[in-house]
A and B are shown apart, each in its own frame.
Chain A
Amino acid sequence: MRGDSANQSKFGYLLLYFLGFLLLWEWVKPLGELTDTGNLAIFVAFMGMALLLKYINLSRILRFSIITLYILTIIHHFYYKNHVLIGLVWIIAFIKNAAANIDLLLTSRWFEISNDFKTLLFFLLLCLMTYLISYWVVVRKKMLLFFLVSVVYVTVLDTFTVYHADSAIIRLIVNGFAILGIQTYYRTIETEKITYSSLAITRWMLPLGLLIACSVCLGFSGPKQDPIWPDPVPFIKSYSDIVSGQGTVSTVGYGENDDKLGGAFESDSTVVFQAKASVRHYWKVENKNFYTGKGWEVANVASDSIIRLPENEKLYFFSLPDKKKSEFKATVTVDRKYKHIPYPEPMGLTKVKAGEASYFDFDVNKEKILSYGEDQSSVQLSEYSIEYEQPRYDVNLLRKTGNPDFRTGIRLSPQELDLYTQLPTTVPQRVKDLAGEITVNKNNSFDQAKAIEDYFDGEDFVYDQRNVPFPAENQDYVDQFLFDTKVGYCDNYSTSMVVLLRSLGIPSRWAKGYSDGEFIRSEDNQNIYEITNNNAHSWVEVFFEGTGWVPFEPTKGFTNSARFQYPASGASSVQASAPQTEQKKATPVKPDQETAKKPASSSDTGLVENLKEVWENNKAWAFGILLILSLAVWGIYRSRGKWMPKIWLRIYKNKTPETYFLKTYPILLSELDRYGLKRPEGQTLREYAGYVDSFFYTMDMIRLTGVYEHMIYKGESKDTDWKEVHQMWERLMNKTIA
């Protein structure tokens, strides 16, 4: 029987070693995929061998020599094959090399360390790990920490690298639970001094196995919810960028650099300029034409791109004679000065004048107007006045684009067409497929553009400036928005629309500037609009043959200020989008918040509905707070052993025990019960008192109980020294403080 049990225990340890080996293996496995470590099998075999040697419990010297021999043979095989294995030559070379490498190590020149030395170090690391595992298996009989660290390791790798731990995590869980279960068995056997018996093993291992199998099967087959939070990696990355000073939670405003779009924005209501004008419209600063997959850059359209705008003359450069248009004037007072000047969009600028500037340059590539002083250096204007035309786009004409019969002088050169339909190779196929899906059944560029513009009004998309991550290293900015996050601000929407258009071959570009701002007051029959940093905006311009560049507004919550003239069949011919303009105020509010507020304030059902609403909107917070609260309550409850008796002691400190003893004694009973001295309900107080006293080595409980018995079973108090009774009670209460 004894031999039998010893065998069983031996087998158990072998199993534990094997499971430990598998656990370690999970650490080594990703290395092949993520690092340039090759020939993993050799290292795995080494781990197995080292653990087996530990298990067999060979003498230390023998074990050491076997391991050394293995390491040397491997190093020889890979790095010193030219030399004879059994020879000093290569060993001396290796030792010299190692010495040099140690020097490198000490001077932190990690990259110069040679491969043979790296291999040696890796072997040493594995040695250490195998030693630790055998320590955890045999001596500590605890491996929870290692198991948890393994889980963290694998999950972190899965989250942040290309390594897919789908099956690894299952293996890890099965393996880890098995180890923990078996170790608990051995620990219990040891601490409780139980003799091994085959029955006990089956009784333990069978439920353990069943439990693991059941939980894994259940977890594997059960329905799993998709992650509620977006991929955390971009957030963490952008956060780490902030910390390291690279990235930004920028404040809203006009920026020149659009190389890397994404990240959160803080709102900023600094006034940029005030415009005195008769109509509302966007203010354009420039446009960009080259999409990099992460952001926008400017490619040259024309080699000689800078044009000096003629002074005191009408700028017919912008004006397109065929368009139906209205003419306006505006004066702009600038608070925050830039070198560039914002001009009305849709553009039809005819004249620009400023006292401080002697001339204006126009950059054709960006369609950006810069102001210069007399000394040919750029100046920052505090005020300028403009005259402009606002076109009305004829939808019939727009729909003709692409029709081979349509003859017009306004068309793009092949180079320009190439540039405005450019897409980087990083744009995934699914984006292009999506463009096709959205525009199915649309046979002209205008309707296609409209369809894409409308697509972003869908419920899936949410306007938000804060919870917007940077795309991951290998991720396309547009792809991330369209398929992963669907949360973003103007840059996301406009860039996505341009990319979708371009993937259909429709020439388009990315325009930026300011949205129409806020109406302040009327003055001299004109309105004054205030444009703040919050109005910084980006949108889309699409090229239509015969018409030119036409603005589109894909961003949720914003309305295109361009005016379209629909064919006469439509009821209102002038402004198809006009009624919407009034409804959707162009302030960027999170749409779901806006809709959520409405029913709450207008509904009659009142508070309950309201609370429900609040609950629905803040579920995550509420759950978090509830969780924290319940955790806190649980913690306080768990630690009641530390504070409950003290509170009782304080409450009954100066109370005459004679009158309160009927209360204080039961309190003592419940505290003793909480302490762990349980009284079966069929046990009499006297027996229990004996048990408690034998536990604490006192006589107090029996004496207290005698007094108490007298009170409850006789119905009268005993003539006794109540002071002493109280002291005994206090002593016992103090003993129950955990």
Chain B
Amino acid sequence: MEQKHPKIERILDNIAKVMIGKRHVAELSVVALLADGHVLLEDVPGVGKTMMVRALAKSIGASFRRIQFTPDLLPSDVTGVSIYNAKEQEFVFRPGPIMGNIILADEINRTSPKTQSALLEGMEEASVTIDGVTRLLEKPFFVMATQNPVEYEGTYPLPEAQLDRFLLKMKMGYPDASEEMEVLERAQYIPPIVELESVISLEELRLLQEEVKEVHVDGTIKRYIVELASRTREHKHIFLGASPRGSIALMKAGQAYALLKGRDFVLPDDIQYLAPYIFAHRIILKPEAKYEGLSAEDIVEIIVTKTPVPVQRLVNQE
């Protein structure tokens, strides 16, 4: 029954060569990449975040950049800077790490808001403005930011408005025992990442991104998405519900996920699967929910299970 999209499957298989397990993380990353969005990974160090992004970058033959955010990092360290060339007697622009296809923004909450916003502007606008000159970023442009949820000292937590710019937020999680055994097994020899080759070209990726936009989202599904979003706004435990941008994100991700599953239309199943990843970081819980030990993901999942799935055509569509 379940089909797969051959090209996307190639990417996922390629990633699976270096990432043991974690297929859902790879899938979601690809979904974000295809939907032209960005990912916020919230996890402790050492679970393979970098590996994940590098594998992804290598699979699509994209340029990979990594920015390690530190408190003293300046915006220009991210965007790039114009340096005076004495020989030529003019300022020459030296691009920063943001000028790549796939960027790993490690520990984004460690740097100052000023620097964060430099990155976030790039993410949102797909362009950066340096010295009054707006420079477009190369497509595809995909940021995978990571946050360490353990240490909060000396961090600058991302404000909600900024979080909204990430298409989805997910956790990596630890591998299970057998997976970890295999990780050790492989680590004994050459790191396999070095041998990884690209399986599709950037051009093909762009075509895939176009294909995502073609995936049919029926009125019933749109209604369903709207219903879910509006329920987050009415829920008693939620202080601030998902924004319309959240709804758009859910739809786009749904399209990408449907394509990943080899379908040219979105199912409620896709929406249900993606909703927690997309809504959880866009809502603000009331303190009561936290006291009850409910996380944002839990509440979104509760909303999903309580919202009626559309099982018939909308009347005005017939």
- Using a CB–CB cutoff of 8 Å, the interface residues on chain A facing chain B are 662, 666, 669, 680-687, 702-703, 706, 709-715
Contacts and interface: CB of A to CB of B under 8 A. Distances in A.
Given A666-B311, A682-B308, A684-B309, 4 more contacts: A687-B269, A702-B1, A712-B313, A714-B264
Contacts of A684: 267-269, 272, 309
B229 to A, nearest CB: 15
B312 A666 contact: yes
A715 B307 contact: no
B287 interface: no
Contact of A682 (B1, B218, B304, B313): B304
B280 interface: no
A713 B220 contact: yes
B275 to A, nearest CB: 11
A682 B306 contact: yes
11 contacts: A682-B304, A682-B306, A683-B309, A684-B268, A684-B272, A684-B309, A710-B265, A712-B311, A713-B265, A714-B216, A715-B216
B179 to A, nearest CB: 26
B261 to A, nearest CB: 11
Contacts of B71: none
A639 B269 CA distance: 35
B269 A714 contact: no
B134 interface: no
B271 to A, nearest CB: 9
Contacts of A709: 267
Interface string B128-160: 000000000000000000000000000000000
Contacts of A702: 1
B317 interface: yes
A715 B222 CA distance: 13
Interface in B242-283: 264-269, 272
A714 B305 contact: no
B309 A715 contact: no
Contacts, number: 57
Question: Which secondary structure dominates chain A's binding surface?
Answer: helix
Contact of B268 (A680, A706, A711, A713): A713
Contact of A715 (B267, B305, B317): B317
Interface residues of B, number: 23
A729 to B, nearest CB: 16
A661 to B, nearest CB: 11
A715 B218 CA distance: 7
Contacts of A680: 305
A669 B310 CA distance: 13
Contact of B310 (A710, A712, A715): A712
A99 B1 CA distance: 82
A712 B218 contact: yes
B309 A706 contact: no
Q: Across chains A and B, which 8 residue pairs bring their CB atoms closest together, nearest first?
A: A714-B265, A682-B305, A681-B308, A684-B268, A684-B269, A713-B218, A684-B309, A712-B313
A682 B218 CA distance: 18
**Residue from B216, B264, B269, B304 whose CB has the most chain A CB atoms within 10 Å:** B269
A687 B309 CA distance: 11
Nearest to A681: B308
A504 to B, nearest CB: 82
B43 to A, nearest CB: 29
Contacts of B313: 662, 711-712, 715
A589 B264 CA distance: 84
Contacts of B272: 684
**Residue from A686, A687, A703, A712 whose CB has the most chain B CB atoms within 10 Å:** A712
B52 interface: no
Interface string B1-23: 10000000000000000000000
Given A680-B305, A702-B1, A686 B267 contact: yes
Nearest to A669: B311
**Residue from B220, B309, B312 whose CB has the most chain A CB atoms within 10 Å:** B309
B238 interface: no
Nearest to B272: A684
A685 B266 contact: no
B211 to A, nearest CB: 16
A193 to B, nearest CB: 28
B39 to A, nearest CB: 25
